[in-house]
């Protein structure tokens, strides 16, 4: 028993305890980190991919693998449903590499992140109605795609960005139309006039225009603005046939 006690004391003295965790990545190269992160990303293991990308950049802050990791981690955050982290990573990439060959993709990805914030849609052909969501989110996504189109008109991502812009513009118009409908239900006719005027000024070519004109006509009639009502009637008749 005495010998066992001495052995325990000696063990404590020399620091016996649980074995330290071995870092299996200690000798990995930047390329090994990148390939492992990419494999995890492809398999949908986004959190693991994020950890590899961030470790890669911290250990190898310079070089092509670190640069690519900076934008790939943004995509991983996007897929992991962490939009704020994704946007931060994208903005950082753009700031650090404004002339990088794939910076157009960074702008496109930023638009996608904010597009999904507006209703978690996966493609522009979704049937989901985004008009009930925060209009500022829709506008932010629209402006992100517009910036890509303006700065990189030859980018491979422009075609898809334009489709999404059209979709978002229609949804923005519908959001304003919903507001006008609400004002009409409250018989707040001046507010209806103001909102429909805004729609007609900013969203020509969208499916909301006819309904906006009809609401505007109702408002002018209610306010007894006969000249404006007749003008609106003529516009409706010329474009859509006899107004109701």
In a domain, residue 204? The reply is no
In a domain, residue 82? The reply is yes
H or E segment to which residue 165 belongs: helix 158-185
In a domain, residue 79? The reply is yes
CA 66 vs. chain centroid, Å, equals 24
By three-state DSSP, how is residue 163 classified?
helix
**Number of domain units in the chain:** 1
CATH code of the domain containing 63: 1.25.40.10
H or E segment to which residue 65 belongs: helix 64-79
Question: Which residues are within 8 A (CB) of 140 and not within 5 positions of it... i.e. 6 or more apart?
Answer: 114, 117
Could you tell me the end-to-end alpha-carbon distance of the chain, in angstroms, rounded to an integer? 103
In order of 37, 179, 209, 217, the CA distances from 191 in angstroms are: 54, 9, 17, 13
- Calpha distance 132→36 (Å, rounded): 41
In a domain, residue 164? The reply is no
pLDDT for position 12: 45
Q: Which domain holds residue 35?
A: 30-89
pLDDT for position 123: 40
pLDDT for position 118: 53
pLDDT for position 19: 52
In a domain, residue 51? The reply is yes
In a domain, residue 72? The reply is yes
pLDDT for position 7: 47
pTM of the model: 0.78
List the chain residues with pLDDT less than 70: 1-21, 118-133, 243-244
- Calpha distance 18→20 (Å, rounded): 6
- Calpha distance 97→114 (Å, rounded): 21
- Calpha distance 117→2 (Å, rounded): 68
């Amino acid at each position: 028993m005495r010998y066992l006690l001495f052995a325990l004391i000696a063990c404590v003295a020399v620091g016996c305890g649980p074995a330290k965790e071995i870092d299996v990545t200690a000798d990995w190269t930047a390329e090994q980190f990148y390939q492992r992160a990419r494999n995890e990303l492809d398999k949908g293991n986004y959190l693991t991919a994020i950890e590899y990308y961030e470790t890669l950049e911290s250990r190898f802050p310079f070089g092509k693998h670190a640069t690519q990791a900076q934008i790939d981690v943004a995509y991983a955050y996007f897929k992991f449903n962490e939009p704020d982290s994704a946007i931060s990573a994208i903005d950082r990439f753009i700031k650090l590499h404004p002339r990088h060959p794939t910076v157009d993709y960074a702008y496109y990805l930023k638009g996608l992140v904010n597009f999904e914030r507006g209703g978690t849609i996966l493609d522009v052909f979704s049937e989901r109605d985004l008009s009930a969501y925060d209009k500022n989110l829709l506008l932010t996504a629209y402006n992100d795609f517009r910036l890509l189109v303006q700065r990189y008109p030859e980018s491979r991502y422009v075609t898809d960005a334009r489709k999404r812009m059209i979709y978002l513009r229609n949804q923005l118009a519908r959001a304003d139309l919903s507001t006008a409908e609400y004002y009409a239900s409250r018989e707040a006719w001046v507010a209806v006039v103001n909102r429909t005027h805004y729609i007609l000024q900013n969203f020509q070519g969208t499916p909301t225009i006819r309904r906006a004109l009809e609401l505007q006509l109702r408002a002018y009639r209610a306010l007894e603005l006969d000249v404006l009502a007749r003008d609106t009637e003529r516009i409706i008749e010329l474009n859509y046939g006899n107004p109701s």
